[in-house]
Amino acid sequence: MSGMEPIILFDKSTLQSLSVDESVWFDALYYASMTPVFFVETLADLEKEIAQGRTPEQVVGNLAEKTPTGGHINVYHATLCVHELLGQTTVEMRRVPIIAGGRPVRVGERRGTVYEEPPERQALHRWEERRFLDVERDFARGWRQSLSGLNLATLKADGRAIIEREGRPRDLAEALAIARRVLERPQSRYTAGILESFRVPGNVQRRMIERWRERGGPPIRDYAPYTAHVAIVDTLFCIGLGADLISADRPSNKIDIAYLYYLPFCMCFTSNDGLHARTAPLFLGDGQHFVPGHELKADLAKLDAHYSALPDEVKERGVMSFAHYPPTEGDFLVSTLWDKLMVREWRERAKQPEEPRSAERDRQLIQMIEAMGDAPRDDSAARDAEKHDAVMFQRMVPVRRGKWRLVPPEAEEAERRARDSKKGGTTPS
């Protein structure tokens, strides 16, 4: 949990396959790039018929318990597309999550940005405790109903119409080439159709279409690169349905394909889903990797056994104290990915002894963090964000997960004292 782990995108099937103990190492040695699709899918399980005698609440709670506490939740892809199409933002596809919010603050001469815990994370904490709001249950019910009524026949017909004009692909790689080709053309009817497909108020939709046409209807890739990525994913899906390369009998395929919208915001993607295994590698660029979910799980199980062999006094210091880097010895998938994706010096850094901690420096750091967290919004501090002294992300971390202690005992005690102090109880020393 050093904040410099490989950025990994995952789907629900990945977490479902992991044990709670394995999820600890997923959280510790990778940096999660999470999608809104994952949260929607997880919540939708509240309305599923669950096998093996477990209640929907237990299934959702178990998934929430295994969801990484680190990483970030990406902004909804359609929101990014609309802002890009209106010329309000440039969507940076730098293989890092794009996150919303952030409160600019100023503490003395220091400037920074504080990201409070988003609603999705607050919901996860409730779900772990099997607590669900009525609005979440209503949403889950509506989602399941919409999914059960989803008919891919229209999308399949759209795909066949493209095939009649462009030729029939023999595989998904050829389907992707066709998708890119039809969207490359100026004034493309397919681009116009995509602009009309966004569910936004009519006046916003008109502005998007007019802006594109005023600029001569350029290829979408040149005009709005991230929207082009989303459009190509959708067009590939239609062509794949039309060519019978993707099943139209499984409505959830439309949900699964939506994970691919977020590939520009990760270094690697892991899934147990067959459609993902066939499509995601087609969109990954140089230096990006697809990791089959079963391979990830096997490696996490090896890591759990590796760290379980540590002395008890080390383990009781908490995972955050000793798992800053993956093992430097042995055959571990995570170590190989760190070699490929992270700074080359990580192995040397991992072997260096940890510097002794200074109680005074820790006290000053905690004071600054608390002051920034409590500071009011100061928009004047937002200027020159790259020159900020600090960026702070607020989140709740459990003391234990599965058999593992996550935080050092003194951190747990400091949090307890801070809570008591705010309640008017004991005063921190």
Q: Give the count of beta carbons closer than 10 Å to the beta carbon of residue 191.
A: 27
Closest CA to 47 of 118, 142, 112, 135: 142
pLDDT of res. 425: 47
pLDDT tens, 153-174? 999 999 999 999 999 999 999 9
For residue 10, the surrounding DSSP H or E stretch is strand 7-10
Question: Does residue 27 contact residue 1 with C-beta atoms inside 8 Å?
Answer: yes
> Tokens in use for 112?
């920074």
The strand ranges marked E within 266-363 are: 268-271, 289-292
Question: Does residue 280 contact residue 260 with C-beta atoms inside 8 Å?
Answer: yes
pLDDT of res. 146: 61
Distance separating alpha carbons of residues 308 and 324, to the nearest angstrom: 16
Sheet holding 110-115, edge to edge: 103-107, 110-115, 390-393
pLDDT of res. 385: 59
> At residue 150, what are phi and psi to the nearest 5 degrees?
-70, 125
pLDDT of res. 428: 35
Closest CA to 78 of 204, 176, 267: 204
Q: Would you mind telling me the total number of residues written for the chain in this entry?
A: 429
Helices within 68-107 (DSSP H only)? 77-85
- Where are the domains positioned within the chain? 7-146+293-398, 151-250
Instruction: State the number of CA atoms in the 13 A half-sphere of 416 facing the CB.
Output: 8
Low pLDDT (below 50) residues in the chain: 1-2, 425-429
pLDDT of res. 429: 30
Helices within 258-311 (DSSP H only)? 274-283, 293-308
Q: Is 52 left (phi over 0), alpha (psi -120 to 50) or beta?
A: left
Distance separating alpha carbons of residues 100 and 116, to the nearest angstrom: 10
pLDDT of res. 133: 79
Q: Give the alpha-carbon dihedral of 329, 343, 75, 173, to 10 degrees.
A: -80
Answer whether 0.85 is exceeded by the pTM. yes
Sheet holding 31-34, edge to edge: 72-73, 31-34, 7-10, 268-271, 289-292
Residue 398 carries which DSSP code? -
Strand partners, 7: 31
Distance separating alpha carbons of residues 255 and 259, to the nearest angstrom: 8
pLDDT of res. 427: 34
pLDDT of res. 294: 98
3-class SS letters over 172-222: HHHHHHHHHHHHHCCCCHHHHHHHHHCCCCHHHHHHHHHHHHHCCCCCHHH
